[in-house]
Chain A
Amino acid sequence: DGGITQSPKYLFRKEGQNVTLSCEQNLNHDAMYWYRQDPGQGLRLIYYSQIVNDFQKGDIAEGYSVSREKKESFPLTVTSAQKNPTAFYLCASSITRQPQHFGDGTRLSIL
């Protein structure tokens, strides 16, 4: 079954710690995206990548970092510089001019 797999489903971060959220897709999509969703709010774009080894900042990139070494994978690191990381993180992928398909998200909380 083709799709987007995000792991883990739940993640806890201690103060001063970096954590990495995994996103893998087997849809052969070129573009991948990371969003943050807070309660009662829409999706805010953190980073996106249109091709391997290239990525661009979205609207709220501060405190986050990404890599795109493989077409299938687009991990997101939430760094200690992100002071309010508690949120639901969604990964998506798409082909050009087509809508995005989403994974089932990772919920990150502060310990």
Chain B
Amino acid sequence: QKEVEQDPGPLSVPEGAIVSLNCTYSNSAFQYFMWYRQYSRKGPELLMYTYSSGNKEDGRFTAQVDKSSKYISLFIRDSQPSDSATYLCAMSAEGTNAGKSTFGDGTTLTVKP
């Protein structure tokens, strides 16, 4: 079983919808949680970065971490066609090489005008 499991998708929503993207993990040592957005033929770009549990909001994006359930989510409000991309969750542990992250397989989102 993989350390990080991501809802596989693909996901297709109408413009303006609220989108929920989710990952579960098994390694309780994970302390750093990231969401990346990847457009086709491009490298991933960092969207959200949180440490330990809690919520973080940045514009239309909200990241939630529930360490007790080993579950993280990314919510996108008022989704736009420009949000169409693959979203990757990533996690890393404290202490070891903390920059060395474990990635989910990605969820491809399409927002239809």
Whether the Cβ atoms of A102 and B99 lie closer than 8 Å is no
Q: Which of A42, A96, A103 contacts B43 (CB 8 A)?
A: A103
The winner among B4, B43, B97 for most chain A CB atoms within 10 A is: B43
Interface residues on A, range: 20 to 34
> In the bound complex, what is the Cα–Cα distance between A94 and B4 (angstroms)?
21
Binds B, one of A14-22, A43-51, A63-71, A78-86: A43-51
Q: A101 — which chain B residues lie within 8 A by C-beta?
A: 46
Task: Provide a sorted-by-A list of 30 A–B residue pairs whose CB atoms are within 8 angstroms.
Answer: A31-B97, A33-B99, A33-B100, A40-B106, A41-B105, A41-B106, A42-B4, A42-B6, A42-B88, A42-B103, A42-B106, A45-B100, A50-B97, A94-B99, A95-B99, A96-B99, A97-B32, A97-B98, A99-B34, A99-B46, A99-B49, A99-B99, A99-B101, A100-B101, A102-B44, A103-B43, A104-B41, A104-B42, A104-B43, A105-B43
Closest A residue, CB atoms, query B9: A40
CB distance from A88 to the nearest CB of B (A): 8
Q: Are B41 and A107 in contact (CB under 8 A)?
A: yes
The 4 closest A-B pairs by CB, nearest first: A102-B43, A94-B99, A42-B105, A42-B103
